[in-house]
Amino acid sequence: MQLTHNDVGGIITATITPFTPEGEIDQLGLRNHVNFLIERGTTGLAPLGGTGEYPALSNGEREQIVGWTVEAANGRVPVIAGVLATGYEDALQSGLAAKSAGAAGLMVVTPYYTLAEDAGVRRYFERYRRAVDLPIILYEIPRRTSMELSAETISNMVSDGSVIGMKYSGYDFNKFTRLVQRCGDVMAVLSGEEPLFPAQVALGAKGGVLAMSNIDPAPWQQILALVQGGQMKEALRVHAQFGALMEAVYSEMNPVGLKAALQLRGVGSGSVRLPLEAAKDATYARLTKALALLES
């Protein structure tokens, strides 16, 4: 049985790629982290996004990471592998490798560098879905790709059968509202923005693909449940407690601050790969203070 839009929701963790001190993939660390996330309530795992440092990995490493994540998850939650390739042939190769490694679905970024019109991107996803034969979650992050589709085009992509969901990493509430109104009942619209998460859930998001949930998915599940239960004031109170931590984590390019936060929490995440570099001392100081406030 393939995933449908009804199977996608809750808190899907955009997982980090743990590295050893030598800069190799830490298989044991990855398995331990997957177990922690599932025990703390994550409803899905999304390796190989920007948080997972997709651009810094080889094709072989990407396939290994998906396989090891699938093995560690052991059927408890779906594994939806990220595909951040710039163009079709690389995206196809990456998607088929993830499928071979056991991914239940793919989270595919809009093609970038070659900036196409909406009609071309729509055809791109239609062809891609047929070729990989796996459910696709559209990943739109305009600040990284300079590519943003209209709500009408995305709705047409759902009608084409090309996508079952969407991770929206943007700040256009007007577009987000139109998306939910047009296809929220037939597509899983997911938030990709922790600062906007309660508001986007209130507008109709079925959950989120959240990097911050690497630290702990449980509070994000709590916020989701509170909003969906009509307790917006309480959801915003809980969400506000994480304001300083979110600012500290994202004060450097993701996942630099996130990995530093995990290290401070005793999680063996390793550092990041070039061209990213380890977090600055000032970032560690901000993270230490923010984590202490949460624990007080």
Model pLDDT for residues 82-129, shown as the tens digit of each residue: 999 999 999 999 999 999 999 999 999 999 999 999 999 999 999 999
The model's pLDDT over 54-88, given as tens digits with 9 standing for 90+, comes to 999 999 999 999 999 999 999 999 999 999 999 99
Q: Which residues contact 276 (CB under 8 A, 6 or more apart)?
A: 53, 56, 253, 255, 256
Indicate if 255 and 138 belong to the same structural domain: no
Task: State whether 196 and 270 are in the same domain.
Answer: no
Please tell me the total number of residues recorded for the chain in this structure. Answer: 296
Identify whether 253 is part of a domain: yes
Domain containing 154: what range? 5-231
Residue 257 covered by a domain: yes
Edge-first strand listing for the sheet containing 10-13: 44-45, 10-13, 207-210, 188-191, 165-168, 136-140, 105-109, 80-83
The pLDDT, as a whole number, for residue 66 is: 98
In a shared domain, residues 173 and 220: yes
Predicted local confidence at residue 268, as pLDDT: 85
On the question of a cis peptide bond just before residue 111, with omega within 30 degrees of 0, the verdict is no
Shared domain for 169 and 145, answered yes or no, is: yes
Residues 115 and 159 in one domain: yes
Q: What's this model's pTM, rounded to 2 decimal places?
A: 0.96
User: Same domain, yes or no, for 131 and 211?
Assistant: yes
Q: So which residues are the catalytic ones? A: 139, 167
1 pLDDT higher than 80? no
212 plus 285 within the same structural domain: no
**Residue 292 confidence (pLDDT):** 95
Instruction: Name the pLDDT band for 43 (thresholds 50, 70, 90).
Output: very high
Which of 231, 250, 266 lies at the terminal end of a domain, its last residue?
231
Please provide the average confidence, as pLDDT, over all residues in the chain: 97
Residue 62 shares a structural domain with residue 115: yes
Helix-strand-coil percent breakdown of the chain, rounded to 5? 50, 10, 35
Indicate whether 21 and 165 sit together in one domain.
Answer: yes
Four-residue CA torsion sign, 156, 158, 161, 165: positive
Tell me how far apart the alpha carbons of residues 115 and 121 are, in angstroms, rounded to a whole number.
9
CA neighbours closer than 13 Å in the CB half-sphere of residue 46: 33
What is the number of domains present in the chain?
Answer: 2
pLDDT at res. 250: 98
> How many percent of the chain have pLDDT more than 70?
100
CATH code, domain carrying 131: 3.20.20.70
Does the pLDDT value for residue 296 go beyond 80? no
pLDDT digits (tens, 9 = 90+) for 131-180: 999 999 999 999 999 999 999 999 999 999 999 999 999 999 999 999 99
Same domain, 10 and 128: yes
Whether residue 236 is contained in a domain is answered as: no
265 near 16, Cβ under 8 Å? no
Q: C-alpha 188: how far from its chain's center?
A: 14
Residue 156 lies in a domain: yes
Beta strands in 131-186 (DSSP E): 136-140, 165-168
For residue 295, the model assigns a pLDDT of 85
Domain match, 16 and 61 both: yes
